[in-house]
């Protein structure tokens, strides 16, 4: 199943963290891994004083379930020093790496801790721009516009 993953880092060696995330995702999907360019973006909805982000996106093939993919992404985040025990101290707090499932084939999921397609991605240029670089013609479940069209409709 093709899955889209958003990648973000705004703490520590951001470029190295994004590169390690790309390598990790390529190992999860040895047959298919599309990786976007990396974009530098201002923090959005983050605590005051948060540093800028490096953002990217990837599309991989994943043979397991969405829950299994989420567990693997969280495992990688923990290996990079991101703690999730008890949730983030602050919403959108600075982090060495953030990996979010954007889509998982044509599946829609609305469970505690896992909502697919990602509920806020269509309003976030820092997600849609990297995604449009790799899958501009993709249409999310329940959507009529392509990723490229959604990006084009976003205000700066």
> Which of 20, 61, 72, 100 is the catalytic position?
100
For residue 74, count CB atoms less than 10 angstroms from its CB and return exposed for 0-12, middle for 13-18, buried for 19 or more.
middle
> Which of 98, 106, 124, 156 is the catalytic position?
98
> Which of 82, 84, 91, 145 is the catalytic position?
82
The verdict on whether 61 is a catalytic residue reads no
> Which of 95, 124, 145, 153 is the catalytic position?
95
The verdict on whether 100 is a catalytic residue reads yes
Q: Name the region of 87 (left: φ>0; alpha: ψ -120 to 50; beta: rest).
A: left
For residue 85, count CB atoms less than 10 angstroms from its CB and return exposed for 0-12, middle for 13-18, buried for 19 or more.
exposed
Catalytic residues: 82, 95, 98, 100
């Amino acid at each position: 199943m093709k899955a889209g993953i958003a990648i973000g880092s705004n703490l520590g060696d951001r470029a190295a963290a994004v590169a390690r995330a790309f390598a990790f995702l390529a190992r999860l999907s040895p047959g298919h891994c599309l990786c976007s360019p990396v974009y530098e973006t201002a923090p959005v909805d983050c605590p005051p004083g948060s540093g800028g982000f490096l953002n990217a996106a990837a599309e991989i093939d994943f043979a397991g379930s969405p829950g299994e993919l989420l567990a693997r992404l969280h495992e990688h985040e923990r290996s990079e020093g991101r703690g999730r025990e008890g949730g983030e101290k602050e919403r959108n707090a600075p982090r060495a790496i953030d990996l979010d499932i954007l889509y998982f084939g044509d599946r829609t999921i609305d469970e505690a801790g896992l909502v697919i397609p990602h509920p806020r991605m269509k309003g976030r240029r820092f997600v849609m721009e990297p995604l449009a670089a790799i899958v501009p013609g993709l249409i999310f479940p329940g959507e009529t516009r392509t990723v490229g069209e959604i990006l084009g409709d976003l205000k700066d």
